[in-house]
Structure 1
Amino acid sequence: MRPSPVLRGGGGDAPLGKFNKYLGGWGNMGGLPQKGIVSYGVSLNRQNPFAGAAHDAVFNTFRRVSSQILYWAPPMVVGYYVMNWAVERNHYLNSKPGRLEFGAESEE
């Protein structure tokens, strides 16, 4: 006995397997049922997408920063001291003692 059109997907062109057996719809192509796979679902109105987000953000940020701090902190410290030295040097060179020491243009 062959499957009815309803079982075949509502039309005469639904695929039949090797032994004239209906293969099933998408995602259920007539194979053996899988065992040991359990899936659970939660209704959309019961989900809380931001559960623990603030807690995780604090500790995840701490973990990521502490693992990367040695890569960016030393260059930042060196850059700060170089800029501080350059600013102080610029102020000195543009002051009266600096102009006298390094021979600024003579004013006539």
Structure 2
Amino acid sequence: MRPTQALLGGGGGKVGKHGLFLGGWGDFGGLKQRGIISYGIAPNRQNPLAGAFHDAIFNTWRRFSSQVLYVAPPIIAGYYAINWAVERNHYLNSKQGRAEFGVDED
């Protein structure tokens, strides 16, 4: 069965089994409803950060604990390598290091 032009266009004609058309956009035609109460909260009155800081702490801990074994060992090894190099450089440029490994500049 093909819809009539009134149904396709959203016009206000008598259509359907009982001769009623619901209406166009936003106008559903029927009786006004009474006794129905609905409550809502405006978007500007909502708390968009409700629980965000609590969730951020636990999410950060979860992500940190899952990645720490991939990141920490190379950082620790790099720290000890740089620390050894700095101490070795200080020793080689000290009086004792020059006396042990250096040559006379005469």
Q: Which ranges of structure 1 fall in alignment gaps of 5 or more residues?
A: 11-40
Alpha-carbon shift at residue 69 of structure 1 (Å): 0.5
TM-score scaled by structure 2?
0.61
Specify the SS of the correspondent of 1:8: helix
Deviation string 1:2-53 (CA, Å, 9 cap, x unpaired) is 332xx4236xxxxxxxxxxxxxxxxxxxxxxxxxxxxxx9642343221111
What letter corresponds to residue 105 of structure 2 in structure 1?
A: E
Does residue 8 of structure 1 match 2:13? Answer: no
Which structure's CA Rg is the greater one? 2
Normalised by the length of structure 1, the TM-score is 0.60
**Aligned-residue offset at 1:68:** 0.7
RMSD of Structure 2 on Structure 1 (CA): 2.4
CA distance in 1, matches of 2:54, 2:94: 53
SS in 2 for 1:68: helix
Residue in 1 aligned with 2:105? 107
Aligned to 1:75: 74
Give the CA deviation at 1:57: 0.8
CA separation of 1:58 and 1:83: change in aligned 2, threshold 3 A: same
Structure 2 unmatched runs, 5+:
11-39
Q: What is the aligned residue count?
A: 76
